[in-house]
């Protein structure tokens, strides 16, 4: 089989492939580029790889020229480097014209939070192709430094590690195998001892088998399930703070967001928190939803527009609702008009004012907050501004900040829900006006609170009218919303029905789902029913707006991971990481005000990403093992099958053809060239077969023009020769084993 493979290796196509991809140095560089480009543009990674094969081959020839021409080569390399940087600069300038952030910010920011840019991606490709091929070449063919090659391999690995995402199993296996192959190649190429490795077909095949076995073992050996605490590592890495600063820069200079929210697995910590409960924290609201599945802001509504004193508090929802009930207790007509008679004299349970403390690891421009909260009491430095949606922004917010808030869970209590279920937005403004009239003399403070709520309600419906003028409109979404809320009257019932719809109608949460071009909230609700929090929050906002409920799309964090730690004397019990980025809707509810909801269905994955990826790696390992087993079976049995077929074939040939076939076949088995004579073949065979009958008959048939024996008789003579050779080879192998055993025994006794 080896001889046949060796013959195939001489085929022009095989020779071409060997020249193109036969250099382990080039292959290692290509696979490094592949892993990088899979991170930046996974869908086209195959194309980047194919192009890199041809371009890297040209580059390797160029580097050979540079290495062999000291002065001219160095000058040429400098020209090449500056020309490459000039081309990259030109491409990034083109990208800057159509992209809202600079190339440096885009490059250093995790790709899960930025949009795809074709010009920037091509620039990254050219930079990585030039840098990786030149460094790999230098540390293999100029200076042998495998430790540097390992550090170079960490470049693409760090891209995946900094976001806590898994590199595909195939790339893991290929990258490790190519690194292992490079070690063998470089070791032999730079061996300084007297014994040098001379490349040969058999030597290359041995190395290939060894690398294959290494890859299989690395893939199928079970990996321990380790839950690592990445806090120290991630917080110590310099690019962590860079990423946070850049992510804030992006949020400050872009007015839109896309569906990447909630799709990151980055485990890097951004905040520590102390809170009595899990919370949905808001950082930014977006108002306009466009048909291309993106959100845009209204500058004077979503962005900060005024300074606020520390500790300023929004109204208390329980106090508002109690004022409405008190008005009903004082005026029976009011209670009957708005169907509140059953609640007259009711005292609602107290809504506790709770405290949230946040510790920011790096200077930030955005401070997460609950839906209904006060301004932070003590930001360590920086001036805060508040938007009309109560989002906090400032300059270099860092260290500790504390705020008080009213929990949204109050609206879900058994004492409050029945009251909210009686209130409808269509008559809510008139209800507030009538309640003010009843309470203005009895309780001026409650009347003032009702006036504040009336202003907020008017602003909410004005906001709804404004966004409706530019929002993506869909009759399908409107029809679905009317179907979901059919027969319901109160704002609270309608919002709860829409929230429950996603859980009850087979929607799926999936970070791996790739949305096709043209998919938006409409296709999510009617076709795919699969996505992350972005899709669910967007869909609920659009459903609510379509039936007249003011709603807004909010981005922030889902604070739910418990983590007790003492920081600067303050005890925290929650940690907020990049992967906790979350999107959710806020809906204006009559009787309460703005209230956050959670339409995102829980993930049904029963295993962690690490376990799933380990299984994927093992699966590929077993695929490789299957190929190896098949190749092993072929290696063992193919020669026997070929030998059996050969013996049957020569019996059917004419004596002359049979003799010629036997002569060629025995030369191949002995490893002799085709120019070997019959006498030379007989001499080579004499060590295990002293009988010359076979060779004498071959000589007679081929050169004596006589046919003394039939093909069957020649086949019997060949079989005797073959059996003698097999017996001799077996005896020689046993002899070598015995000699090795005796040598080990002597060495041990000495």
User: pLDDT tens, 68-112?
Assistant: 887 898 899 899 889 988 998 898 888 887 776 778 777 766 666
659 token code pair: 């003799």
Mean pLDDT of the chain: 80
656 token code pair: 């002359």
First to last CA, the chain: 43
706 pLDDT band, cuts 50/70/90, is low
∠ CA 522-525-531, rounded to 5°? 105
Q: How many CB atoms lie within 10 A of CB 433?
A: 12
Closest by Cα among 335, 532, 562 to 435: 335
Cα 416 vs. chain centroid, distance in angstroms? 43
What length does the chain have?
750
Domain-wise residue ranges, the chain: 21-167, 169-189+198-221+615-649, 238-596, 653-749
Q: Give the CB-side neighbour count of residue 555, counting CA atoms within 13 A.
A: 27
* CA pair distance 293, 298, nearest whole angstrom: 17
User: Tell me, what DSSP letter sits at residue 527?
Assistant: I
* CA pair distance 500, 619, nearest whole angstrom: 38
171 pLDDT band, cuts 50/70/90, is confident
274 pLDDT band, cuts 50/70/90, is very high
256 pLDDT band, cuts 50/70/90, is low
In this predicted structure, the answer to whether residue 282 has a pLDDT above a threshold of 50 is: yes
In this predicted structure, the answer to whether residue 3 has a pLDDT above a threshold of 60 is: no
Question: Which tops the pLDDT comparison, 223 or 478?
Answer: 478
* CA pair distance 268, 307, nearest whole angstrom: 31
Asked if 611 contacts 225 with a C-beta cutoff of 8 angstroms, the reply is yes
Q: What is the pLDDT of residue 485?
A: 94
* Percent over 70 (pLDDT), the chain: 77
Of 362-376, 408-422, 484-498, the one with minimum mean pLDDT is: 362-376
Q: What is the pLDDT of residue 477?
A: 94
Find the farthest-apart pair of alpha carbons in the chain and give their distance in angstroms, rounded.
136
In this predicted structure, the answer to whether residue 359 has a pLDDT above a threshold of 60 is: yes
* CA pair distance 125, 658, nearest whole angstrom: 60
* CA pair distance 376, 313, nearest whole angstrom: 10
Q: Alpha helices, DSSP H only, in 490-608?
A: 491-504, 521-523, 533-546
What are the tens digits of pLDDT across the range 326-343?
999 999 999 999 999 999
93 token code pair: 């300038």
In this predicted structure, the answer to whether residue 267 has a pLDDT above a threshold of 80 is: no
Average pLDDT over residues 701-724: 82
254 pLDDT band, cuts 50/70/90, is low
Average pLDDT over residues 393-406: 74
Of 14-28, 207-221, 242-256, the one with minimum mean pLDDT is: 242-256
748 pLDDT band, cuts 50/70/90, is confident
190 token code pair: 């730079």
Asked if 145 contacts 135 with a C-beta cutoff of 8 angstroms, the reply is no
Q: What is the pLDDT of residue 449?
A: 92
Average pLDDT over residues 473-481: 93
* CA pair distance 373, 219, nearest whole angstrom: 51
Average pLDDT over residues 223-233: 46
Average pLDDT over residues 666-671: 86
Q: Does the CA dihedral 437-443-448-451 come out positive or negative?
A: negative
Asked if 187 contacts 291 with a C-beta cutoff of 8 angstroms, the reply is no
Helix, strand and coil content of the chain, in percent to the nearest 5, comes to 60, 15, 25
Question: Which tops the pLDDT comparison, 393 or 48?
Answer: 48
Contacts of 593 (CB under 8 A, 6+ apart): 314, 315, 317, 320, 372, 453, 456
Q: What is the pLDDT of residue 368?
A: 87
What are the tens digits of pLDDT across the range 565-610?
887 777 889 998 888 889 999 999 999 999 999 999 987 654 455 5
Burial of 375 (0-12, 13-18, 19+ CB in 10 A): buried
In this predicted structure, the answer to whether residue 128 has a pLDDT above a threshold of 70 is: yes
Q: What is the pLDDT of residue 597?
A: 95
Average pLDDT over residues 208-225: 57
Average pLDDT over residues 357-375: 79
DSSP string, 473-487: P-HHHHHHHHHHTTT
What are the tens digits of pLDDT across the range 482-521?
999 999 999 999 999 999 999 888 899 987 777 777 888 9
478 token code pair: 């409107």
Q: What is the pLDDT of residue 472?
A: 87
């Amino acid at each position: 089989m080896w001889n046949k493979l060796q013959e195939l290796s001489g085929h022009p196509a095989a020779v071409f492939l060997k020249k193109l991809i036969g250099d382990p140095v080039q292959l290692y560089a290509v696979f490094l580029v592949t892993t990088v480009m899979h991170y930046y543009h996974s869908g086209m990674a195959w194309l980047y790889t194919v192009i890199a094969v041809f371009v890297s081959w040209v580059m390797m020839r160029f580097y050979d020229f540079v290495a062999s021409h000291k002065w001219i080569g160095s000058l040429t390399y400098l020209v090449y480097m500056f020309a490459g940087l000039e081309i990259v600069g030109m491409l990034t300038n083109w990208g800057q014209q159509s992209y809202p952030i600079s190339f440096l910010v885009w490059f250093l920011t995790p790709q899960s939070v930025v949009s795809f840019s074709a010009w920037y991606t091509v620039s990254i490709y050219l930079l990585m192709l030039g840098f990786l091929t030149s460094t790999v070449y230098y540390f293999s063919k100029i200076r042998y430094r495998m430790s540097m090659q390992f550090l170079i391999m960490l470049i693409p690995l760090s891209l995946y590690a900094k976001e806590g995402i898994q590199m595909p199993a195939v790339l893991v296996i290929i990258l490790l195998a190519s690194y292992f192959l490079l070690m063998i190649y470089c070791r032999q190429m730079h061996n300084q001892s007297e014994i040098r490795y001379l490349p040969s077909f058999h030597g290359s095949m041995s190395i290939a088998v060894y690398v294959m076995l290494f890859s299989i073992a690395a893939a199928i050996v079970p990996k321990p399930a380790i839950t690592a605490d990445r806090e120290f590592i991630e917080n110590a890495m310099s690019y962590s703070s860079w990423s946070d600063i850049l992510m804030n820069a992006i949020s400050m200079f872009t007015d839109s967001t896309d569906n990447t929210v909630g799709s990151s697995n980055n485990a890097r910590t951004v905040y520590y928190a102390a809170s009595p409960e899990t919370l949905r924290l808001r950082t930014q609201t977006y108002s306009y939803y466009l048909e291309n599945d993106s959100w845009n802001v209204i500058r004077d509504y979503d962005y900060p527009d005024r300074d606020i004193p520390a500790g300023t508090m929004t109204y208390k929802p329980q106090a508002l609702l109690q004022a409405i009930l008190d008005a009903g207790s004082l005026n029976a007509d009011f209670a009957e008009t708005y169907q509140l008679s059953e609640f007259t004299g009711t005292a609602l349970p107290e809504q506790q004012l709770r405290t949230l403390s946040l510790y920011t690891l790096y200077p930030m421009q955005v401070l997460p907050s609950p839906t209904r909260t006060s301004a932070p009491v003590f930001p360590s430095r920086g001036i805060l501004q508040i938007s009309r949606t109560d989002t906090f922004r400032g300059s270099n917010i860092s260290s500790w900040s504390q705020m008080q808030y009213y929990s949204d869970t109050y609206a879900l209590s058994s004492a409050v829900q029945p009251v909210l279920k009686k209130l409808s937005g269509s008559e809510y403004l008139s209800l507030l006006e009538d309640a003010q009239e009843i309470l203005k003399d009895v309780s001026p403070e409650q009347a003032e609170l009702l006036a504040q709520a009336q202003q907020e309600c008017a602003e909410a419906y004005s906001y709804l009218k404004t966004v409706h003028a530019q929002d993506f409109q869909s009759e399908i979404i409107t029809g679905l919303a009317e179907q979901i809320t059919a027969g319901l009257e109160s704002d609270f019932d309608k919002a709860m029905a829409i929230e429950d719809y996603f859980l009850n109608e087979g929607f799926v949460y999936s970070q791996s789902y790739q949305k096709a071009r043209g998919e938006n909230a409409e296709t999510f609700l009617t076709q795919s029913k699969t996505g992350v929090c972005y899709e669910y929050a967007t869909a609920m906002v659009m459903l609510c707006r379509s039936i007249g409920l003011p709603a807004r799309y909010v981005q922030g964090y889902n604070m739910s991971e418990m983590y007790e730690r003492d920081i600067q004397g303050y005890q925290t019990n929650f940690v907020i990481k990049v992967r906790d980025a979350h999107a959710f809707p806020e809906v204006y509810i009559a009787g309460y005000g703005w209230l956050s909801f959670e339409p995102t269905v829980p993930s049904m994955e029963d295993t962690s990403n690490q376990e799933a990826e380990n299984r994927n790696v093992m699966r590929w390992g077993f695929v490789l093992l299957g190929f190896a087993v098949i190749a092993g079976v072929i290696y063992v049995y193919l020669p026997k099958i070929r030998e059996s077929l050969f013996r049957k074939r020569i019996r059917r040939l004419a004596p002359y053809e049979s003799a010629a076939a036997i002569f060629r076949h025995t030369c191949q088995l002995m490893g002799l060239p085709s120019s070997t004579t019959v006498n030379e073949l007989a001499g080579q065979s004499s060590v295990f077969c002293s009988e010359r009958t076979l060779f004498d008959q071959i000589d007679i048939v081929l050169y004596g023009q006589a046919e003394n024996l039939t093909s069957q008789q020649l086949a019997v003579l060949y079989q005797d020769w073959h059996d003698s050779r097999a017996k001799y080879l077996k005896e020689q192998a046993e002899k070598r084993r015995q000699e090795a055993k005796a040598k080990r025994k002597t060495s041990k006794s000495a």
